[in-house]
Chain A
Amino acid sequence: MADALFWIGGGLIVAGAMLSVLGAAGVLRFPDVYTRIHAASLTDTGGATLMLLGMGLLGPFGLITLKLLLVWAFIMLTSPAAANALANAAFGSGHRPRIGNFQIMGEDKATDAAPESAGKERA
């Protein structure tokens, strides 16, 4: 039983680490701020969930589990909020997505006429 828990927990930790690496690759390779935020925030919360769950299965049950739960709750609360605020600030300061159609409420044209993406055609 304990052996099975060890392997499941270790497997979850490795899976979380792989998700983190994938997210980092996305942050490195994606074309603009918004896609990068998407990659980072999703894999941060997902990777953290998997890894902390794995650690909870590995460790002794008790105060440590409670602390792991606290760390998880904290990351689940702050990471999406920070990503949201970041995307909001980036959009407000004039960055426009490079991929896909979008329309800003109150503006008539749906373009990417932004200082940041000038000279780059919409994909």
Chain B
Amino acid sequence: MTAPVLEASFALNVALLLMLVVLAAAVVWTRSLLAAILLMSVYSLVSATWLMVMDAPDVAFTEAVVGAGISTIVALGAILLTRGEAVRVSWKRQVVPGLLAGLVGGLLIYAMSGLPDFGDPASPANSHVGRAYLETAKRDIGAPNVVTAVLGSYRGFDTLGETVVILAACIGVALMLGFGPRATLAPPAGAPGDHHVVLRVTAKMLVPLIILFALYVQFHGDLGAGGGFQAGVIAAVAIILHALVFGLRETTAAIPPQAARAVAALGVVVYAGVGIVCIVNGGGFLDYDHLLTPQIEAMIPAGLLGDPDKPHHWGQYFGILAIELGVLMTVSATMITIFYGFAGRTIDAIAAELRR
């Protein structure tokens, strides 16, 4: 990078961090929880942009789809079950939490002085395991995106744990809020001039496009930023858009809550199943080099991915593809189930109100 680009990146850092501070202060200051949710969504967008300036596109991707997208919608669903205003607390009850928060903040600032500089080549992250991954990923795994190689193959067991955690979150939310709608209501009584034809037409065009884009993100993950997690969230966002515009009844007719549940569990089965197949074929758990038997590997044409002269790691390639599919299934189905839980619950609340 040349000097003006570095200066511009520094100025961008300062501007974005200032925006973050202002937004965080506004979130604390506002009494309306709805405004706080909206500002948090903007906060996520800014922090994702900032991660992009720090050259971490995979993290920025996740922050954008999860922080600005899904958590905003889930927080809105949570607000439906409670009040929209923060309660005023007397200052006496704020002293101890304030002191605690100040103490932790002070400790964090103190600890920050011990961190290595940004981009320091001698820092532990750059000198030990990180460098080893960067040096060996191309030779061992053959995936151009090192992040995907680390998450999917080197740390495949950790990622399996994360997938199980997501399934656990799905089960927890579903147990508390129910698996989906228990009652349905007609569309709201329209006020004069209250029609959404434009929105319905746009949504009808967008839903398939978004799912197509999710598939692109899924299969592009070993080349660039993206992967099963982000693709799953994007696919779930498409379904949520459909539910928002056409109503939960229509969406559950297309994707029943039972199906979503089943797919969420099936994703973990696919992921763990790849590991079991590796064991059966004589390797360790999730050791993709043993995923395919030599007979099957001999049947794959060498030019399947273009260049036939390059050495290929077909086991690694198909292993990462399969576990990403499992992650996609679990993540998208979990997000849909959580949305069904929150949105279906509100129908219940409204129905109860009407009965009263």
Contact = CB atoms under 8 A, between A and B. Distances in A.
Contact of A78 (B190, B191, B194, B202): B202
Contacts, number: 32
A81 B192 contact: no
A106 B199 contact: no
B114 interface: no
A94 B346 CA distance: 24
Nearest to B194: A92
A106 B194 CA distance: 13
Nearest to A105: B192
A32 B205 CA distance: 31
Interface stretch (A2-10, A33-41, A50-58, A83-91): A83-91
B206 interface: yes
A107 interface: yes
Nearest to A93: B191
A106 B192 contact: yes
A1 interface: no
Nearest to B245: A85
A113 B195 CA distance: 22
Nearest to A80: B198
B310 interface: no
B196 interface: yes
B192 A85 contact: no
Contact of B196 (A78, A80, A88, A107): A88
Nearest to A77: B202
Contacts of B194: 88, 91-92
Contacts of B190: 92
B193 interface: yes
A104 B191 CA distance: 11
A84 B193 contact: no
B202 A105 contact: no
Given A77-B206, A78-B206, A91 B193 contact: yes
B191 to A, nearest CB: 4
Nearest to A86: B199
Interface string B277-320: 00000000000000000000000000000000000000000000
Contacts of A78: 202, 206
Interface in B178-220: 190-196, 198-199, 202, 205-206
A81 B193 contact: no
A67 B199 CA distance: 24
B193 A105 contact: yes
Contacts of A93: 191
A99 B51 CA distance: 42
A78 B195 CA distance: 17
Contacts of B193: 88, 91-92, 104-105
A90 to B, nearest CB: 11
Contacts of A81: 198-199, 202
Contacts of B198: 80-81, 84-85
Contacts of B205: 77
Contacts of A80: 198
A27 B205 CA distance: 29
A40 B191 CA distance: 25
Contacts of B196: 85, 88
9 contacts: A77-B205, A78-B206, A80-B198, A81-B198, A81-B202, A85-B196, A85-B199, A88-B193, A105-B192
Interface of A: 77-78, 80-81, 84-85, 88, 91-93, 104-107
The 3 closest A-B pairs by CB, nearest first: A81-B202, A92-B194, A92-B191
Interface of B: 190-196, 198-199, 202, 205-206
Given A77-B205, A85-B199, 10 more contacts: A78-B202, A78-B206, A81-B199, A85-B196, A88-B194, A88-B195, A92-B193, A105-B193, A106-B192, A107-B192
